[in-house]
Amino acid sequence: MDKIVYILVFLTAIGMMFVTFPDGVAAVSLVFFISVPIIFLIRQTVSAEDGKVLVQIFLIGLVLRLIFGVYLHVFQMREFFGGDALTYDAYAQRILDVWMGAVPAGDPYYLRATSTGTPGWGVNYLTSFIYLVLGRNILAAQSFCAVIGAATAPMVYFCAHKIFGNKRVGTVAAVMVAVFPAFIIWSGQLLKDGLIIFLLVLAMTMVLQLQEKFNYFAVIFLLFSLFGILSLRFYIFYMVAIAVAGSFIVGQSSSVKAILRGFVLLVVCGVALTYIGVTRTATENFDKWGSLESVQRSRDDLSRSGQSGFGGDVDVSTTQGAISAVPIGLTYLMLAPFPWEMANLRQAITLPEVLVWWALLPLFVYGLLFTIKTRMRGAIPVLIFTLMLTLAYSIFQGNVGTAYRQRTQIQVFMFIFIAVGWELRKEKKENRLALRAAKRRQIDEYLKEKKEKGG
């Protein structure tokens, strides 16, 4: 298996460079430069056997994303799958032009690209740095996103293992993140979605680490992930911050030492975020976009865009209206696109994935109930964040395509609970088979003993 994976990686790299030359050469070089440290960290963090499996999962996820990215690049399908990539490309080039002195710093397009009030401004800067090193190369930028998207799979393993201490649960969750089509689509492009998902899992994993023991590196990575999330999608920052605060307050232990550690961590994170300007930026964005009236305007635009809008008559500008929007919003967020409502090719190609996703939901419920009963304290940050983001998107969403896209930010944690449900079901089946075999042995021994006595 190991050799097959490495051969597949090699063939993908060669094919990518050949088909997309010369951009592909720079893109593959960037992928190699980033992937090697990731593989090294994976192998240093877990045992040799587990590291081998996680590296394979990472590489398979990476190959799938790179192949999808090459398809987008060669056939110019970015507008079809995610037109935002072209916007980030244009913004990044304008920023680079200003850095190089080709365009004055007062250029309106540059000011819009670098404004912290512009959604996703972090992607603009990230892409600019890539272009600064490699030149304007959107394939390289999206390949960077592909590496981060693939790295989310082993990151999910670490997060799940922190909560449940079960390698099989972590492995199953990692595999689903690596190969699920929605994750390949949204993290295989120059989009912020894959970056957000990775940072969310990183933040939750660092919180779980800090609950166990104070670690300077964990604090640094937590602050990095919070800043990154703010630069990509500001309102998620608030939800993560609340989940972090809640987990530190509740903690994994009720001892005085654990409570003091949580309090100190909250103070350190708060001071650090204030110092680097995160809280100021977050407040400015919240004042601009955080009211129910702003949410209603955005939702109304989404519900009227294209042929995939829903709930156009719902008004969420009031508290009562927002609450009333949750049932229909939650239904579409978790289940859409529905097969009987698929109106275009983009929705139709998701049908196999949607059916698989529906089939996995009972396992999610099973795993979630088990977690609440047995691992509630350890899973607090993940549970708080997942619940808050689910409710927020249920109110905000008014478009099937956007719901399908942003559902991945919730699915990444739902996969952990699905993996728990899968393992519980598997263990029950194994126990039934073992019990049946034991009974059969008892019967055989009884019959043998009876026969011997009769003889």
Domains in the chain: boundaries: 214-290
Find the length of the chain.
455
**Among residues of the chain, what percentage have pLDDT more than 70?**
85
Q: Which long-range contacts (CB under 8 A, 24 or more apart) does 324-330 make?
A: 325/394, 325/395, 326/391, 326/394, 326/395, 329/393, 329/394, 329/395, 329/396, 329/397, 329/398, 330/390, 330/391, 330/394
- Average pLDDT, integer, range 150-162: 97
- Determine which of 96-110, 196-210, 298-312 has the lowest per-residue pLDDT on average: 298-312
**pLDDT digit string, tens, across residues 80-105:** 887 899 999 999 999 999 999 999 99
Q: Is the pLDDT of residue 111 over 60?
A: yes
Which pLDDT score is estimated for 282?
47
Give the distance, in angstroms, between the CA of residue 228 and the centroid of all CA atoms in the same chain: 13
- Average pLDDT, integer, range 189-199: 97
| Per-residue exposure over 285-294, b if at least 16 CB sit within 10 Å of its own CB, e if not | beeeeeebee
pLDDT interval class at 130 (50, 70, 90): very high
Q: Is the pLDDT of residue 196 over 80?
A: yes
- Average pLDDT, integer, range 127-139: 97
Mean pLDDT of the chain: 86
